[in-house]
Amino acid sequence: MTKVCQDSVGSPLVGEKNYKLNLPPNIPAENFWSVTLYEAENASGLANGQPFPSLGSRDKPAQNADGSTDLYLGPKAPDGKAGNWLATVPGRGYLAILRLYSPTTSNRQELETGRHRKSSVISVRASVPIKGRMK
């Protein structure tokens, strides 16, 4: 399990901003992986208006040509990216947790640093908020 509560410049994740979370190809999870959003204030599931505040490999999000997956976190889905989007709530802070179900490595450090031979770098830091339209 890896927790993200700041963007790449160290600012807390806030619901009114847009973020892109890039997950590398070949995430070492035998069953599936999932990213879930939680309230920063009390760690309960983020009440974001979606049936579940999570998105994972079983949801079959679109992948990039290199096999990585971009997830979009923000108050509105970017054009054409609704299948890779998790809604956030303006005015609310939150955190994102990546869970691997049946990880194919038992070494937490390998998972967090990407040193596992079957995967590229496991980095779940949100990128700097995207200004203007997200593409």
* pLDDT tens, position by position, 75-115: 999 999 999 999 999 999 999 888 888 877 655 555 555 54
Q: Residue 43: pLDDT band by 50, 70, 90 thresholds?
A: confident
End-to-end CA distance of the chain: 28
Out of 2-16, 76-90, 114-128, least confident range: 114-128
Q: Rounded to whole angstroms, how far apart are CA atoms 18 and 119?
A: 27
Question: What percentage of the chain has pLDDT greater than the value 70?
Answer: 75
CA atoms within 13 A on the CB side of 82: 3
The architecture that CATH gives domain 2-93+104-113 is Sandwich (2.60)
* Domain boundaries defined on the chain: 2-93+104-113
Q: Rounded to whole angstroms, how far apart are CA atoms 63 and 25?
A: 9
